[in-house]
Structure 1
Amino acid sequence: MENTNITSSYLKLIYDGEDLKNHEMDAMELALIIEGLNNLFLEFNSELNSDLTTIKLKVKANFEKGSFGVEFIVEVLKNIEVLLNSSPVTATLTAIEIINMLKNLFNFIKIMKGNISEKDNSAIKIEEDGTIYAKNIEDTNIKYEYTEDTDTTEIKDGDTITTKTKSKKMIKLCYNGSVRKNVEKIIFPIKRNNGIENLKIVYDNAEIQYVADKSTVDFYKAPDVISDRKNKTYRKEVVLRINKLSFNETSKWTLYNVDIPKISVLIEDKKFLNNVKYNKEHFSKDDELRVILRIEEFYRNDKRVIEYFVEEVLEHIKAVETPYIPFLD
């Protein structure tokens, strides 16, 4: 973790209602909520940080009288080495900023009554201070002020992510089909269960956000069609440890590092593959590869898919050998 910077933040989802007075919730309902929030933050990480960071969601159960509450700790792990080698205009949001983005997302969907369409994005105007002017479902202009957080994200060349930029990113999340479907998973226990009345979120600064009740739950239903399903491709130089290698050119290797969990990677570097084939490369435990990694993101059957390719192996880093020291009686 030597080259890793970790930021963390906290939020607590509290569901209220008659069915929850004994602090009990149906296990399937709870599983859907946790899955929805976890997937939501993974999608945030992809959209806001271009997967240059790793995001972790930790769960801690907590109870209040007449309700069911679940505490979450959100961690964002930044690999300093990866960020230094990334584009000069790349900036990544901290855990606090991502949580703040979530708060604004819920507020904006609610104030717009769910009526947000990329097809009519001309109806949304963003001022320099981040204030959003948009037409709601009744075709009435609404003013929404993006709530800023205390963190300031600096870009590599010294600029900062402005509130206007964050407002744009928040609007982009509203157009993301996966984001909207996972928001729906978190909100819709209120719709499915007559005994659950409302949801509020408590943030780490003790701010309470009343998100939804029976009268507003339909605002959070994901639109049937959201047209933002754009494929993404990006590259980065990274050092990955070999977990599993293959002598078949068409088979994938398993690689990882402290910030990237084990991923299946197809190696495209023909020179390197030939060296492997003709035994010019020799491997031992804990060997690493410094590579140009290409990440392709697309959607298949309405699910986000990420595939990994090594375009070029820049260096085969041999593991440090521990010398054998014989013991004498």
Structure 2
Amino acid sequence: MESIVLRFDGEALNDHSMDLKLLADSLAGLESLITEVHEHLNGSTDDLKVQVQGGFEEGSFEFLLNVIETAEISTLAAIGLGGTFAGGGLIGALKWLGGEPIEKIARHKDGDCILKKKDGNDLVVSSHLKEAIASPSIRTAFKKLIQRPLNKEGIDVFEVLKPGASGSEQREVLVEIEKREASSFRAQSEPVKEKIKEDDVYDNARITFLTVHKDKPSGWRIHYDDTEISGVKIQDDSFIRHVQSGAGEAIFDDAYRVKLVAKYKNNSLTEKSWHIEKVYL
């Protein structure tokens, strides 16, 4: 089990209380962040258990976080909240980005990843952070956990501390994020400008049509390689006219050879949309 203390400091917390909605959103962001990063690292959350215990000190609001997991890579370390990588990991990368989107994620010669910024500077991060650093939902979780509370008047600092030994008042500060750094943890719908993964192109692919729409080129269904694919967009105007003219009445009876393209979303290694660029009649 790994334990850390998360603390917000500032005048607004002098009475040891915190706005309930702000606290609830922050805790929801924390839970989402830990859960999604753990799943990126390990493939599932079956072994993960997260516990939170509230508390306070003079002029602050804090809570103890316990993370129980059986994993080769610590989730808290990957986030940058604990372990030898406290202040590094995702938190270190987001601080370095300063709220900017990543221009490109490249592969380093030793297998790690290189994050490139608009100004040409780059940062090497561990390969296991590649999907997490590009995830919009993880950025939203950081916004709830860190940016939104720090944007509130009277809350000046977010800190992560190492729990002190029993009876000890001394606690090591592992991470400190000040109000001026809050924008580094804002949400981004497209954290990466350039695609992480290039399109998959299947030229001369053999398909059959399952659903067609004469009134629109999108939302078609096809059968390809023993798989049913929905939401396919047809980009071959001549074939669309062929179907609209009535010449394609037997479309469900025949197999077609097409240029089929799977286009990956900018920030994903798995999410993609399907397009038929050409139907070979």
Q: Percent identity?
A: 23
Q: Which amino acid aligns with 1:168?
A: S
**Does residue 168 in structure 1 map to residue 127 in structure 2?**
yes
Q: Which amino acid aligns with 1:217?
A: A
**Does residue 58 in structure 1 map to residue 51 in structure 2?**
yes
Question: For residues 40 and 221 of structure 1, what CA distance do their matches in structure 2 show?
Answer: 14
Shift of 1:189: 3.3
Q: 1:208 — aligned with what?
A: 173
Alignment of 1:70-219 (within 5 A): 70-76=63-69, 78=70, 92-93=71-72, 97-103=74-80, 104-117=89-102, 120-122=104-106, 125-126=107-108, 128=110, 133-137=114-118, 139-143=119-123, 167-203=126-162, 207-219=172-184
- For the residue of structure 1 that corresponds to 2:180, the secondary structure is coil
Shift of 1:51: 0.6
Asked if the contact 1:45/1:54 (under 8 Å) is kept, the reply is no
Question: For residues 28 and 183 of structure 1, what CA distance do their matches in structure 2 show?
Answer: 16
**Does residue 21 in structure 1 map to residue 2 in structure 2?**
no
Shift of 1:229: 11
Unaligned runs of 5+ in 2: 81-88, 165-170, 198-281
Q: Match for 2:40 among 39, 47, 67?
A: 47
Question: For residues 52 and 214 of structure 1, what CA distance do their matches in structure 2 show?
Answer: 32
Distance 1:45-1:127 versus aligned 2 partners, 3 A rule: same
Distance 1:52-1:221 versus aligned 2 partners, 3 A rule: closer
Asked if the contact 1:190/1:198 (under 8 Å) is kept, the reply is no
Question: For residues 98 and 181 of structure 1, what CA distance do their matches in structure 2 show?
Answer: 17
C-alpha RMSD of the superposition: 2.9
Asked if the contact 1:116/1:174 (under 8 Å) is kept, the reply is no
Question: For residues 123 and 196 of structure 2, what CA distance do their matches in structure 1 show?
Answer: 28
- For the residue of structure 2 that corresponds to 1:171, the secondary structure is helix
Distance 1:187-1:93 versus aligned 2 partners, 3 A rule: same
Asked if the contact 2:22/2:149 (under 8 Å) is kept, the reply is no
Shift of 1:73: 0.4
Question: For residues 41 and 65 of structure 2, what CA distance do their matches in structure 1 show?
Answer: 20
Shift of 1:187: 0.9
**Does residue 11 in structure 1 map to residue 4 in structure 2?**
yes
Q: TM-score, normalised by structure 1?
A: 0.49
- For the residue of structure 2 that corresponds to 1:19, the secondary structure is helix
Unaligned runs of 5+ in 1: 1-7, 79-91, 147-166, 231-329
Asked if the contact 1:10/1:72 (under 8 Å) is kept, the reply is yes
Question: For residues 111 and 26 of structure 1, what CA distance do their matches in structure 2 show?
Answer: 30
Q: 1:149 — aligned with what?
A: none
Q: TM-score, normalised by structure 2?
A: 0.57
Compare CA radii of gyration and give the structure with the larger one: 2
**Does residue 32 in structure 1 map to residue 30 in structure 2?**
no
- For the residue of structure 2 that corresponds to 1:60, the secondary structure is strand
Question: For residues 45 and 56 of structure 2, what CA distance do their matches in structure 1 show?
Answer: 35
For these two proteins, the number of residue pairs brought into alignment is 181
Distance 1:182-1:11 versus aligned 2 partners, 3 A rule: same
Alignment of 1:180-329 (within 5 A): 180-203=139-162, 207-226=172-191
